[in-house]
Amino acid sequence: MTTPLKIAIAGLGTVGMGTIEILRANSQTLKRRAQRPFEVVAVSARDRGRDRGADISNFCWYDDPVKMATEVDCDVVLELIGGGGGIAKSVCENAIAKGRHIVTANKALLALHGTELARASESAGVAFCYEAAVAGGIPVIKTLRESLSGNSVSRIQGILNGTCNFILSSMRSSGSAFGEVLAEAQKLGYAESDPSLDIDGVDAAHKLAILSSIAFGTELDFEGVHVEGIRSISAEDIAFADELGFRIKLLGIAEKTPEGIRQRVHPAMVPISAPISAIEGVLNGVSIEGDFVGPVMLEGAGAGGGPTASAVVADLVDIACGRILPLLGVSSSYLTRPSINPMEDHKGAYFIRMMVYDRPGVLADISATLRDHDISIEGVIQRTRSATEAVPVVVTVHETLERSMNAAMKKIAGIEAIQSPIQAIRIERS
């Protein structure tokens, strides 16, 4: 086919302009792979006069992206605006209604409205592609939907947020406090001026909800994700982890259990020997466990204009070639409601750090409390003693139920010689 694939782009940030750059720079390669040329016919963004470092004057300009999605003569609309609803959702809905394919990098939109959009796009017979929405340039969506389609997936574990991985990696290498490294990340452009979505784990949770839905054939359930961020991680925690042979990572984990599906995002200690512990800086990494293929590890750039735009263009090639799959890997009519395995039923090992005043019997009180909640101690680290200041005491415990750990921590926090808050970090050995 020699008819161009006509593209309209809503959003001209780093990803939108990166997509234009790839389409221009690799036009001949893309034409050979797609067997047809690509043509950007219209664009829309908030500021028409902004210098974006490239000439866009030959594209038809729309101030209103929804109007563009409705009126322009195109085959595909790229939604690169972002946000969990609002104008981004309207762009997609109106494009679908007009029979136009969608490519997006918007994980929040998918996490919150993906099931609804899956039904709408299937009903309209159009593609809804989003490789760029999870882990940037890493082809994890394609891997789950296509390469591993012959497997039953039991578990996904990943570093899904480059900002948090950069902060935790830098804290370890420099010994600096969380706030100092966050400021550095903002200065380098790795963290937003308001970094809440990243450091509070919400961004990773959006991505995990998408991966979980594809892996387990369920409707999207962002509300069912247990979410914790990294604000509480201290330089002391990083140092103790290193001493114990661990790295602290913000992990997104989705797993199928006999009782249901558990989705969780939280800081975790992983052994230095684990492949995921070696993923440093702003890189992302995802491990997928299939029943026949075994564990599969993917690693690469999880953000940035180039890697994310690369994933956008890969989706365009699929559409040009007629490779259209259901949004979530199976027809929306086959999606099931996820049966939730609550976090309190999680069973695992824990690292506990307490600031303790040197009082007779305090360690015995801690040990007795853990014993009373059926929690077995694996090891204890106590560095120094002080008659006037609280000193850190670290306890690692064997596998126990989360509800038991929560109850024990509440009881220990009431011991007079212990300062609040108590730090508890889950240990993930698999």
Tell me: pLDDT of 247 over 90: yes
- The total domain count for the chain is 3
Q: What local confidence, expressed as pLDDT, does residue 55 receive?
A: 86
Q: Quick one: average pLDDT of 403-423? A: 94
Angle at 266 (CA atoms; ends 260, 271), nearest 5 degrees: 100
Over residues 166-225, the pLDDT tens digits come to 999 999 999 999 999 999 999 998 999 999 999 999 999 999 999 999 999 999 999 999
pLDDT band at 1 (very low <50, low <70, confident <90, very high): low
Domain end among 78, 99, 133: 133
411 and 376 in a common domain: yes
211 and 116 in a common domain: no
210 and 119 in a common domain: no
CA distance 96 to 92: 6
CA distance 128 to 97: 13
CATH code of 252's domain: 3.30.360.10
Q: Which residues contact residue 281 at a Cβ distance below 8 angstroms, ignoring those fewer than 6 apart? A: 162, 165, 166, 169
Q: How does strand 260-271 pair with strand 418-427?
A: parallel
Catalytic residue among 142, 207, 249, 256: 207
pLDDT band at 400 (very low <50, low <70, confident <90, very high): very high
Confidence (pTM) = 0.95
Quick check: 335 and 217 in contact, CB under 8 A? Answer: yes
* Eight-class DSSP state of 282: T
- The widest CA-to-CA distance across the chain, in whole angstroms, is 83
Over residues 329-353, the pLDDT tens digits come to 999 999 999 988 899 999 999 999 9
Q: Quick one: average pLDDT of 131-159? A: 96
Q: Return the sign of the alpha-carbon dihedral for residues 310, 312, 318, 322.
A: negative
Quick check: 351 and 269 in contact, CB under 8 A? Answer: yes
- Catalytic, 207? Answer yes
Domain end among 68, 100, 133: 133
H/E run at residue 104: strand 101-104
Residue among 324, 208, 302 at smallest CA distance from 264: 208
Please report, for the chain, how many H helices and E strands are present, in that order.
Answer: 14, 16
Residue 282 belongs to domain spanning: 140-302+327-343
CATH code of 50's domain: 3.40.50.720
Structure tokens at 301: 């750039």
21 and 166 in a common domain: no
Asked whether residue 108 is assigned to any structural domain, the reply reads yes
Tell me: pLDDT of 11 over 70: yes
Domain end among 294, 316, 343: 343
Asked whether residue 312 is assigned to any structural domain, the reply reads no
Quick check: 340 and 221 in contact, CB under 8 A? Answer: yes
Quick check: 415 and 364 in contact, CB under 8 A? Answer: no
Q: What local confidence, expressed as pLDDT, does residue 387 receive?
A: 66
Tell me: pLDDT of 384 over 90: no
Mean pLDDT for the chain? 95
Residue whose pair of structure tokens reads 């019997």 in the numeric block: 361
CA distance 237 to 161: 20
Structure tokens at 177: 């406090």
Quick check: 92 and 102 in contact, CB under 8 A? Answer: yes
Q: Give strand pairing partners of 286.
A: 158, 298
